[in-house]
A and B are shown apart, each in its own frame.
Chain A
Amino acid sequence: MMAAALTMGLARQLHSSPCSDAAPDWTYREVSTGTTIMAVEFDGGVVMGADSRTTTGAYIANRVTDKLTPIHERIFCCRSGSAADTQAIADSVTYQLGFHSIELDEPPQVQTAANLFKEMCYRYREELMAGIIVAGWDKRRGGQVYTVPVGGMMTRQPVSVGGSGSTYIYGYVDSNYRTGMSREECLQFTAKALSLAMERDGSSGGVVRLAVISEQGVDRQVILGNQLPRFSAA
């Protein structure tokens, strides 16, 4: 998936960059959230986490990005891929879901939000570069995590990771995830996984942003760089 993403990145650069005789590459490179994002279901809600780095080429355009975007009161999405594409998709889905919720006269289902993302990501799959994790709480199915990777597939998973840094933590996630973890355990699990990815992936870094969504609402946290869990003495 990473190889495909890199190729897509190259293809984009070749035809969309204006001539640059003296300008460095970050002046015309597309802004990308080369990222690590993650979401975990627990009984009663979900825990979502993301790093905070947005890059244009080798330059960090924003080191405190908020990649956990609210779509509705108890539905958030984690964005990875092209910053412009994911922001535009999220804005569009937020509008559609808000409209739908008013028509329904009740809070929308997480599955609905995930489907809206899937529709857009699949229909425009050739033009977009967006890997999105949709997560939230609704009263019908409780805490849910749906992943919509590049290409527009949509599937529900108890744990999902995404972005360029996710490749470094599949092993950690697969071996350390257990069903029936508590809210606190999920928070620790997510924070550690993201720290490991940020340590190894050049395109991920900054701070760790966490969000817990449950029936009670949304609880947001930030873990600053010096407070991140550490794994080696180095």
Chain B
Amino acid sequence: MATASVLQARSAGFSFENCKRNALVEANATDLGLRVPTARKTGTTICGVVYKDGVVLGADTRATEGMIVADKNCSKIHYISPNIYCCGAGTAADTEMTTQIISSNLELHSLSTGRLPRVATANRMLKQMLFRYQGYIGAALVLGGVDCNGPHLYSIYPHGSTDKLPYVTMGSGSLAAMAVFEDRYMPDMEEEDAKRLVRDAIAGGIFNDLGSGSNIDLCVISKGKVDYLRPHDEANKKGVRVNELDARPQAGSYKYKCGTTGVLTKAVTPLHTELVEETIQTMDTS
């Protein structure tokens, strides 16, 4: 087959191919005063469900940069049009910019047609753009909305394939969320049941996936009405440790009484600091 490329067998262990080049780049970067940026990913749980009167979209709120949480409360449900919203997983910048671009184009399109935009239109625009970039735009999206043909829900993958389904999950926590959906999804649910199901699916992702965490945002879209619930559920409040199984706050006191540990010897050395130089620099507040 002509397409069989010259494949180098993956050798075990570390690959040091790029070290020399990286060192050069980083050395020059500091000369220019630049910091080498790291891509921030939303290791995420996002999901959506179609219910009787519309769609419910849900997302967690953790944005990670490698193993560090970069943003504890970021917003992953993006506005596309008054009746269409889109959750984004993958590279944070890619999901943000892609949804903004399509939102802008869709508004122009809507003004041109004189009609409320359809979810299928947004889906087409997104899939054609992502396909054009052959997967290099790392945006995995859950697109949902209500238009003249009823409620619609799509999942869109970075390479540009889409699936139209009654319930979808995306992101690193998608397996945990899908487990909840596969167990409890029913067609034509009521709004409260749908919200509870989405909340539980995202909670499944938050508590079982390291890349997802913090709070749960919900967006309920029905004909003529959008409820953007941010946050819907503060599943992880700072300083409050909750045992998930008991649902009782467990704030134990870990301070030990003075004298618990016996002191054998004590040596006190006062540190004297002397003032060497004092300079005053005035701030220009004109």
Contacts and interface: CB of A to CB of B under 8 A. Distances in A.
Q: Which of A7, A14, A30, A61 has the most C-beta atoms of chain B within 10 angstroms of its own C-beta?
A: A61
Contact of B135 (A7, A10, A16): A16
A16 B1 contact: no
Q: Which of B7, B163, B175 has the most C-beta atoms of chain A within 10 angstroms of its own C-beta?
A: B163
Contacts of B138: 18, 28
Given A22-B43, A23-B43, A23-B172, A65 B163 contact: yes
Interface string A1-31: 0001001101100101011011110011011
A3 B41 CA distance: 34
Secondary structure type dominating chain B contacts: loop
Interface string B58-100: 0000000011000000000000000000000001000000000
B151 interface: no
A87 interface: yes
A84 interface: yes
B132 to A, nearest CB: 9
Given A21-B66, A84-B131, A31 B157 contact: yes
Interface residues on B, range: 35 or more
Contacts of A83: 157, 159, 161
A59 interface: yes
Contact of A56 (B157, B165, B172): B157
Interface residues on A, range: 35 or more
B4 A126 contact: no
B172 A11 contact: no
Given A23-B43, A23-B211, A62-B163, A87 B2 contact: no
B176 to A, nearest CB: 12
A64 B165 contact: yes
Q: Which of B124, B135, B211 has the most C-beta atoms of chain A within 10 angstroms of its own C-beta?
A: B135
A35 interface: no
Contact of B7 (A10, A28, A125): A10
A61 to B, nearest CB: 7
A157 to B, nearest CB: 21
Contacts of A30: 135, 157, 159
Contacts of B161: 31, 54, 82-84, 87
B163 A22 contact: no
Contacts of A54: 161, 163
B165 A62 contact: yes
A22 to B, nearest CB: 6
Interface of B: 1-5, 7, 39, 41, 43, 66-67, 91, 124, 127-128, 130-131, 134-136, 138, 140, 155, 157-163, 165, 171-172, 175, 210-211
26 contacts: A4-B3, A7-B4, A8-B3, A10-B7, A16-B136, A22-B43, A24-B172, A27-B140, A28-B138, A28-B158, A30-B135, A30-B157, A31-B159, A31-B161, A54-B163, A59-B175, A61-B163, A83-B157, A83-B159, A84-B127, A84-B131, A84-B135, A84-B157, A84-B159, A87-B160, A125-B3
